[in-house]
Structure 1
Amino acid sequence: MILSHYVLRKKLFHDIELKSRFNAHIFGITFGFCVLFFQLFLLEIMEIDTMSTRSVFWKFCLYSLDIILFYLLPFAYLKGKLENTQNTTLFCTQNIFLGFFLSFLAVLFIFVQIHNYWYYDSSKENTDGFLFSVVALAVSVPMQTKLLVYTGVILTAMLQGFAGINLFFQHIFDPLFGIELLDEELDFSVTRAPREKRVQNLKSILDMIVKEKTKLQKLRKKQSSQTQESSGFLGGFFRNPFSSKEGELRDKIDVCQAEIKTMEKVQEECYQNMLISHQIEQKRKFMTTPIGRVLSIFGKIIAFFCILKILGTLRSIFASSNINTDGGINRNVKSALSYLPFAFRDDIYNDLIVQYISFVFVGSLIYLNVNSLFNNLLASLKNILMRETKIKLSSNTTMIVFCFFMGIYFMSNVLLMSMNLHQRYRSSIDDILEKQLNYALIKWAFDHVFIGASIGSICILSFNRYV
């Protein structure tokens, strides 16, 4: 919990004001359970502790995260809406919707309690009616977890598809589609000028804005003084000599305000383009350093593996390959060890090395997944929150949305990684979820969504480049 609150305050939302401590605590608890997910998964790989003990931890983690995502997050969202609403009418639309939604959650909770008390058994003769059995099964914790897993698999496939193609375009086609592309997208000539000239042009625009605002302030003072003189004691008996001048002043004020708005937009766009050009210069300087060259080579290798993953996914789609019980990671590690000149003949040592290599590889995947989620998804939510867009979100709503995506993303990633390992590493999860997860369906959905997101990313990048 201390780590989760540190990540929450110092790393994620350090530049956003958090008004609700309740939402902050929910986010910290969710992050703690997500970290516990990966710890339990690494314990499964290393086979630490007994299987029954690990099953208890898995059940506690899965059920707790399920309750948070299905009940606590909607309650936190409705609690924030109820606190921010200004309409206190009893029969307003928001209160009717709130009452209906809370009643629906109460009914779901009652069905969950009934189902937990009377465990549904498909082999037993059903005497309570078909509707009750279907609803009781639909709201059970394994079924809710199944729904969260399928949603998270689709989200993960979309993120990996877009990220893989973007990484390929960024590192492989960097001389053609990278820096030069950003230079061509800059519309203002000041960004192509030297740095001193760009700063001078930006200062001149700011000086013009200050002059226009000073002029507007003088016009408003003149208008207020003329209004006071025209509304004197004799204003009703004599004709107002300033009536024609007041109309001219209003026109001048309107024109001045329009000019100020236009110049402020130009100044903002010029500043944004100046920041982009500064980033381009910093990138060019960094790429000439030894660390930049090493990172560039490493990025190209990762981009090449992303393309291999896309090709392998296409092959698995057309070949309709099934899930291998041996696991993709174990199978590939064993095949790589077989090519070594000092290949181990003892199966015990061979399995032990495969186990440790799988542990390191999965740990690296966990780090990359967490890092990519925090850097990409949270950055997008912050851009929506802090920029002037049509979608208006408060900081508390942003935290709830990110908390939900984080929960289903981590839950689905654990199960996706378990699919690529030996079947004994996912036996505890299968027992807890009552073997309701269809791994073939998960693989089919992930492959098709991943390919669709990759093709969509290629189309978007090509459209932005050539159109």
Structure 2
Amino acid sequence: MYIMEMISAGDALIVLGSQTVFFILGWLFFMKQLFRDYEVDQKAVQIFFSVTFAISCTLFELVIFEILNVLSNSSRLFTWRTCLYTILVLLICLMPLYFYYSLIRMQRFVPLSWVMPLTLICWLITIYAFWRLGDNFPILSAKHGIFSMQQAVSRVGVVGVTVMANLSGFGAVNAPYTCMSIFMRPVTEDDIAQLERKLRQNFDMIVAKKRKLALKELELSRIGTFKAAPTGTLRDQIRLLNSEILPLEEFGKHLFLELVEAHNAKNRVEYSKTWQGIYFNIVGHFFSIYCIWKIIICTINIVFDRVGKVDPITKGMAIVVHHMGYQIDVRFWSQQISFLVIGIIAVTSIRGLLITIAKFFNAISNRQSSNLVVLGLAQLMGMYFVSSVLLIRMNMPSKYRVIITQVLGELQFNFYHRWFDVIFLLSALCSILFLYLAHKRTPIR
């Protein structure tokens, strides 16, 4: 009865329906992108990922509902609190416990009776470190109890904002580097042919030495039964051949990677000449301007300790009204543009994070570690989306921030924006340095 007073049947149907859709989308992404080449041996991992994805998307949905005034105030407040409590339990309790349980159970030398005690010990150490994290940042508030939801959100926000700023900093630099033709390395057919010829020569040398090695080992096995036969020289020859084969194989791997990179560079040059490539080249120039602008703004914010008090949309419209002489309904258009901008932020954030998760998973996972990798990525995803809500709040007009402030309490929102600027700036500068060194690397000739 209490729940029915907090949320009406119609509102509950909308929320549950959207969460079901988000859960199915998370389930399909898990099956189609993450586990195309791996067997799903732990359904709990799939459920954790899909539930985290569904609740994370619901947080973005609630931000949009605030602007469009969908659902009643009590329904939105109840859904906000339910989603936040649920995702915090997942991020702090359930997923870390299951992660350590799976990790420890994989170790064959650990007795089965020790799995649960070790799992609990590892989880308690993690919780202690997580809670101590708040001592190093100005995120604590005397108005909230030490075990309140606000204290948990403040710590999750630090980790999530750090992840988000790192991804944003690298993306702001990598996007123009990938799209702009000025950064493309010119590769000719002669360069590729030369690398292929070197690779074939290397392969032939390895085959010849391995054939010779096999003959020497066969000869050694034949004369090994005769104790009087001298085998010292033969063993030295085998040892010498092995020492020659190993660097040849390493050099062959290096040549192969260089050949793959040359083919990719050639394909990029050819693609840049198409209409779509020209379009992305233009987009890359805009991204480069954005990157430079964002780095300058972050530097100014850090140096002058500046955080905006008014959302950018309302501020921009105020400039239009007062300085350009246009007469428009600021309140109406602020709501419409806020909905559009936050919708774009939500969609691009979800899409960008899912692409990053898929790439990261395919790069580091194998059949043994795949479940652990997904659990770790699901935790980062949940923290990422909780932090996104903290940062999106600044892009909302003041009247739409009320319920978020009411749910989260008096968190130090300004700190998260300053922390984002610091990490974004460091990530962008490190990415520029890394890509510069990679671009200047001398290819094999």
> Could you say which TM-score interval applies, normalised by the shorter chain?
0.7 to 0.9
Gaps of 5+ in 2: 1-22, 130-140
CA distance in 1, matches of 2:431, 2:123: 40
Aligned residues: 408
1:286-325 correspondence to structure 2 within 5 Å: 286-324=271-309
Please say if residues 172 and 291 of structure 2, whose CA atoms lie closer than 8 Å, have aligned partners that are also in contact: yes
- For residue 33 of structure 1, report the CA deviation from its aligned partner: 1.5
Gaps of 5+ in 1: 109-120, 124-133, 184-190, 231-239, 387-391
Structure 2 counterpart of 1:100: 121
Deviations 1:327-369 (A, max 9, x none): 123332554578889x554x3xx53333232222222222322
1:452 has 2:426 as partner: yes
Mean CA deviation greater in 49-58 or 357-366: 357-366
Structure 1 counterpart of 2:53: 31
Match of 1:363 among 343, 355, 360: 343
CA distance in 2, matches of 1:319, 1:377: 35
Which contiguous aligned blocks of 4+ residues in structure 1 show a shift greater than 6 angstroms?
103-108, 337-341
- For residue 7 of structure 1, report the CA deviation from its aligned partner: 0.5
1:419 has 2:394 as partner: yes
Question: What's the TM-score, normalizing by structure 1?
Answer: 0.76
Paired residue type of 2:121: F
Paired residue type of 1:138: I
1:239-258 correspondence to structure 2 within 5 Å: 240-242=227-229, 244=230, 246-258=231-243
Q: Which has the larger radius of gyration?
A: 1
- For residue 298 of structure 1, report the CA deviation from its aligned partner: 1.4
- For residue 307 of structure 1, report the CA deviation from its aligned partner: 1.7
Deviations 1:358-385 (A, max 9, x none): 2222222223222332334553454344
Match of 2:87 among 65, 72, 86: 65
Deviations 1:282-307 (A, max 9, x none): 11111111111111111211221222
CA distance in 1, matches of 2:415, 2:44: 37
Please say if residues 162 and 453 of structure 1, whose CA atoms lie closer than 8 Å, have aligned partners that are also in contact: yes
Change (3 A) 1:148 1:353: same
1:399 has 2:420 as partner: no
Change (3 A) 1:212 1:16: farther
Percentage of matched positions with identical amino acids: 23
Change (3 A) 1:179 1:96: same
Deviations 1:221-262 (A, max 9, x none): 3322323x33xxxxxxxxx332x1x22332222222233322
Please say if residues 17 and 395 of structure 1, whose CA atoms lie closer than 8 Å, have aligned partners that are also in contact: no
SS in 2 for 1:262: helix
CA distance in 2, matches of 1:206, 1:453: 40
Deviations 1:29-64 (A, max 9, x none): 211222222222221221111111111111111111
CA distance in 1, matches of 2:281, 2:128: 55
Paired residue type of 2:78: V
Structure 1 counterpart of 2:202: 205
Change (3 A) 1:102 1:451: closer
- For residue 411 of structure 1, report the CA deviation from its aligned partner: 1.1
Structure 2 counterpart of 1:353: 333
1:8 has 2:7 as partner: no
CA distance in 1, matches of 2:426, 2:70: 39
1:24-423 correspondence to structure 2 within 5 Å: 24-88=46-110, 97-101=118-122, 137-168=145-176, 175=182, 178-180=183-185, 193-227=190-224, 229-230=225-226, 240-242=227-229, 244=230, 246-324=231-309, 326-333=310-317, 335=319, 343=326, 345=328, 347=329, 350-376=330-356, 378-380=358-360, 382-385=362-365, 394-423=369-398
Deviations 1:418-439 (A, max 9, x none): 2111123232222222x13112
1:438 has 2:397 as partner: no
Deviations 1:444-466 (A, max 9, x none): 22223323333444444556667
- For residue 280 of structure 1, report the CA deviation from its aligned partner: 0.6
- For residue 27 of structure 1, report the CA deviation from its aligned partner: 1.4
Change (3 A) 1:455 1:104: closer
- For residue 102 of structure 1, report the CA deviation from its aligned partner: 5.5
Change (3 A) 1:201 1:27: same
Please say if residues 18 and 395 of structure 1, whose CA atoms lie closer than 8 Å, have aligned partners that are also in contact: no
- For residue 408 of structure 1, report the CA deviation from its aligned partner: 0.8
Paired residue type of 1:257: N
Please say if residues 213 and 260 of structure 1, whose CA atoms lie closer than 8 Å, have aligned partners that are also in contact: yes
